[in-house]
Amino acid sequence: MNKQGNTYTFLYASIMVIVVAAVLAFVSETLKPMQNKNVEVAKKIDILKSVGIESDAKTAEDLYAKSIVATKVINMSGEEVNGVDAFTVDLSKEVRKEPKDRNYPLYVCKTTDGEKMIIPLRGVGLWGPVWGYISLDSDGNTVYGAVFDHKGETPGLGAEISKEFFQTPFKGKTIFDKSGSFTSIKVLKGTNSEGNPHAVDAISGGTITSNGVSDMLDECLRGYEKYLKK
Amino acid sequence: MSDKEPLFSAKNRKLITNPLNAQNPITIQVLGICSALAVTAKLEPAIVMSISVMFVLVFANLLISLLRNTIPSRIRIIVQLVVVAALVILVDQILKAFAYEVSKQLSVFVGLIITNCIIMGRLEAFALGNKPWQSVLDGVGNSAGYGVILIIVAFFRELLGSGTLTLPGLGTLQIIPEAFYELGYVNNGFMILPPMALITVGIIIWVQRSRNNDLIESN
């Protein structure tokens, strides 16, 4: 057959595409369970980290099963939603809905310090999504710990939100003021946050990411307001 | 075959050693710079990236070389792209399944191996016109040349930028002792920003040229 002819070229391209598609589909299907498992484990590591429990890929499953004593999904009016598994709620989809239509997942974790509530967060940074988990004491007001991560913030600047020095100051802050109205926790420039129970220091050079974290906290925690006040 | 030559004849060895030095894809041909900037803030992603590029380049070279007499020349670039893209997706899937942490760090850059000029360049310039074994050697040589530079750059960037070295399997090792920090030593945050990768590559090119007179243009 003429190797430069149209027929040969078309045949060649078609067969090549079919072979490649078959190989890739097979590999993808074979590895899918392991990949999903990795994503789950990474999520469990993050959840545990927000209450200060360190774990790795090997120990996360066990620790999670031991520490997380309950999960629930609530709605904006603070009522429990039945029939939805908190762990499988995809926040990236939820945050696109109207606040009143969203599912708000909540994890209850038993720690050496008593029971904590863990609230997942998701928002927008400079280059892509930022997310995290914040844990509250049983009073539903005082922050016990927080952990943040991001898809692709600038290394050394915005990406620092995943470092401890940024996350530790959240501990002990409160999300309601003395009169009981919702204030969230602001991420502020400079040293404004000193002595302010509702603010932490932002990262210099990472303003947009810092604001993203601030907005994320406000937006996500607001949905839990009614539930936490109960 | 009358012209059968040993697997590692002098000519074949050159295919591996040349790209390490006088024909280095990054410092001499200045290809693949984009990924060299992006994944060298820490040592571990740089190592994984080098291995991934080696895997893709060796197999792409081999496949294209095996197919070289059947590929219709009018769609040869498309065929090359399909082969490279398929291999890259394989690498990405395998990393996601077996090295999830690393795949998170490399994120989009694994996918961008497809656009790494070194790979298309070697396929077009070498694999299309040479036998499979030579093509494999060429792939090993060029990806090693790429990897060596990546690892050197990442070594200095992580050491000076974070004071640590991250090795696969060993985790993050603190290299600069705490005592230094207490005496007032501060990590150079500039090192982990992309511009410093370019400057580091520039310094490597400078050192290499000053040691090898053949590389200096006559004018």
Question: What pLDDT, in 10s, does the model give residues A121-151?
Answer: 999 988 889 999 999 998 888 999 999 988 8
Disruptive mutation site among A2, A9, A11 for chain B (greatest number of B CBs within 10 Å): A9
Residue from the list A9, A23, A24 with its beta carbon closest to the beta carbon of B74: A9
Q: Is residue A41 part of a domain?
A: no
For A175, the token pair is: 């999300």
Does B219 have pLDDT greater than 70?
A: no
The pLDDT value recorded for residue B86 is 92
% of chain B residues with pLDDT over 70: 95
Q: Is residue A96 part of a domain?
A: yes
Disruptive mutation site among A3, A7, A16 for chain B (greatest number of B CBs within 10 Å): A16
Q: Is residue A47 part of a domain?
A: no
Q: How far is A123 from chain B (nearest CA, A)?
A: 18
Domain count, chain A: 1
What residue ranges in chain A does DSSP mark as E strands?
68-74, 80-81, 104-111, 114-124, 129-136, 143-150, 186-188, 199-201
- Please, what is the average pLDDT of chain B? 84
Give A192's pLDDT tier (boundaries 50, 70, 90): low
Residue from the list B100, B101, B107 with its beta carbon closest to the beta carbon of A152: B107
Q: Residues 6 or more apart from B143 whose CB is under 8 A from it?
A: B50, B53, B54, B57, B58, B118
| pLDDT tens digits, one per residue of B120-172 | 888 888 999 899 999 999 999 999 999 999 999 999 998 888 888 888 777 77
Are B75 and A31 within 8 A, CB to CB? no
Give B2's pLDDT tier (boundaries 50, 70, 90): very low
The pLDDT value recorded for residue B1 is 42
The pLDDT value recorded for residue B3 is 56
Q: Residues 6 or more apart from B25 whose CB is under 8 A from it?
A: B19, B31, B32, B118, B121, B142, B145, B146
The pLDDT value recorded for residue A31 is 93
Does B66 have pLDDT greater than 90?
A: yes
Q: How far is A47 from chain B (nearest CA, A)?
A: 16
Q: Is residue A40 part of a domain?
A: no
Does B35 have pLDDT greater than 90?
A: no
Q: Is residue A166 part of a domain?
A: yes
Which DSSP symbol is given to B17?
A: H
| Structural domain boundaries enclosing A91 | 68-229
The pLDDT of B204-210, averaged and rounded, is 88
Contact A142, A191 (CB under 8 A): no
Does A24 have pLDDT greater than 90?
A: yes
| pLDDT tens digits, one per residue of A149-160 | 888 787 778 888
What is the C-alpha separation between A168 and B172, in angstroms, rounded? 21
The pLDDT value recorded for residue A46 is 87
A21 compared with A226, residue with greater pLDDT: A21
Which residues on adjacent β-strands are paired with residue A132? Answer: A121, A148
Q: Is residue A98 part of a domain?
A: yes
Does B215 have pLDDT greater than 80?
A: no
Does B91 have pLDDT greater than 60?
A: yes
Q: Is residue A116 part of a domain?
A: yes
Q: Is residue A14 part of a domain?
A: no
| pLDDT tens digits, one per residue of A37-62 | 988 898 898 889 888 888 877 888 88
Q: How far is B72 from chain A (nearest CA, A)?
A: 6
Nearest CA in chain B to A39: B100
What is the C-alpha separation between A59 and A224, in angstroms, rounded? 30
Domain edges within chain B: 22-211
For A45, the token pair is: 């590591």
Could you tell me which residues of chain A have a Cβ less than 8 Å from any Cβ in chain B? 3-4, 8-9, 12-13, 16-17, 20, 23-24, 27-28, 31, 34-35, 38-39, 41-42, 57, 151-152, 154-156
Which residues on chain A are in Cβ contact (under 8 Å) with B78? 13
